[in-house]
A and B are shown apart, each in its own frame.
Chain A
Amino acid sequence: MALGVGCSARPGKARDNKTGSWRVFKPEFDHEKCSRCGLCSTICPEGCIRDDEEGLPVPDYDYCKGCGICAEECPSDAITMKQEEK
């Protein structure tokens, strides 16, 4: 491990830490119901939901902690939390 001067770290190095392993419930996105409002990607505390070219949300399960805020707040009820088998 290289020590930088003044304990500096490379920007965004936290990506090494795959927080998806914390998850118990996994959000599943129903793109049929999605109205593309973008609320889920705005309010995700992880910032792990991205919109694809068509504006549909795509979660990054490597980092999703399964908090369920997206499912709770989705105005179209297009997200459901399912217990994950690992």
Chain B
Amino acid sequence: MAGQTCDLFDCGHRACGGCGAALVSRLILDAAGEDTIVVSSTGCMEVFSTPYPETAWKVPWIHSLFENNSAVASGIVAALKKQGRKEKVIAIGGDGATFDIGMICISGAFERGHDFTYICYDNEAYMNTGIQRSGATPYDASTTTSPAGKCATGNPLPKKDMPKILAAHGAPYVATATIAYPADIRKKVKKALDTPGPCYIQIHAPCCTGWGFEAEKTMEIGKLAVETGLWVNYEMEQGEVTKVKKVVRKPVEEYLKTQKRFRHLFRPVRNDTEIAKIQAIADRNAEKYGIDIKLKKD
């Protein structure tokens, strides 16, 4: 429905203006509805939405530690099952809680096959504590623990392929999405909730403070990530990629130059070697997932 707004994640939360993660939480609850129990690990979303004694959530919500988000969710799922209740359980974590700290419990919960949906809002670093690099930080992004300077060009390590890791656990449904396409997020969240077993969705959530761009550009940056091939929107069912968003690809510079975290690649002098390496990452993504739209030549 056009103009439908979500009432379950309320106004008054303390996210920065233009926050991608705030939009993620609204869209998730919009799709999930009120019969939902949310478990949220420590991170930006937990901090901005629930500064005690306030909360922006209007569904049952429980805070867990960074590491045991999925364990708490598993317990809730088991208790609901015992009581014969039908509420859906969603575990939400940032990329730090998902890619690094919560890995053990997520792996355990996916192995045991609990019926819940894990959603990672991926803002590609530990934004809440001051932009430290995580396993999700892309190659060459400058963060406070991987600063660009004379000796380094930002984060030296590639982004971890978390969806693949969880698909390898036998997850029936794994998907990636970006806030630039809200209808797509709603559709994927609904599908994950309707799929029995542990499902995973990773949502690209641009962070204006951590990435260094103007607040109003959040959606545009999300779109550019997809259009340059640095972020691929896809769905995986039973470990097989079933749907991919295809694009007419743009050069990666168009995404990189919009953000302060990649500024060192253009100033004081343009670093063509590093930009070529990032272009190669996009090219590999394009080849792996087949995202290129082939234009017919007359």
Q: Is B9 an interface residue (CB 8 A)?
A: yes
Question: Please, how many angstroms separate the alpha-carbon atoms of A68 and B215 in the complex?
Answer: 7
Question: Please, how many angstroms separate the alpha-carbon atoms of A7 and B58 in the complex?
Answer: 15
The size of the chain B interface, using a CB distance under 8 A, is 42
Question: Please, how many angstroms separate the alpha-carbon atoms of A50 and B4 in the complex?
Answer: 8
A-B residue pair count with CB separations less than 8 angstroms: 131
Question: Please, how many angstroms separate the alpha-carbon atoms of A51 and B12 in the complex?
Answer: 19
Query: Which of A12, A14, A57, A72 has the most CB atoms of chain B within a 10 A radius of its CB?
Result: A14
Q: Is A78 an interface residue (CB 8 A)?
A: no
Query: In A26-58, which residues have CB < 8 Å from any B CB?
Result: 36-38, 41-51, 55, 57
Q: Is B197 an interface residue (CB 8 A)?
A: no
Verify A38–B2 contact, CB threshold 8 A.
yes
Query: In B211-254, which residues have CB < 8 Å from any A CB?
Result: 214-220
Q: Is A82 an interface residue (CB 8 A)?
A: no
Q: Which residues of A contact B268 (CB under 8 A)?
A: none
Give min CB distance, A49 to chain B, whole Å. Answer: 7
Query: What are 6 sample pairs from A and B whose C-beta atoms fall under 8 A apart?
Result: A1-B53, A37-B2, A43-B182, A66-B17, A69-B219, A72-B219
Closest 4 CB pairs of A and B: A38-B3, A68-B216, A67-B17, A38-B2
Interface residues of A (CB under 8 A from B): 1, 7, 9-19, 22-23, 36-38, 41-51, 55, 57, 60, 62-63, 65-69, 71-73, 81
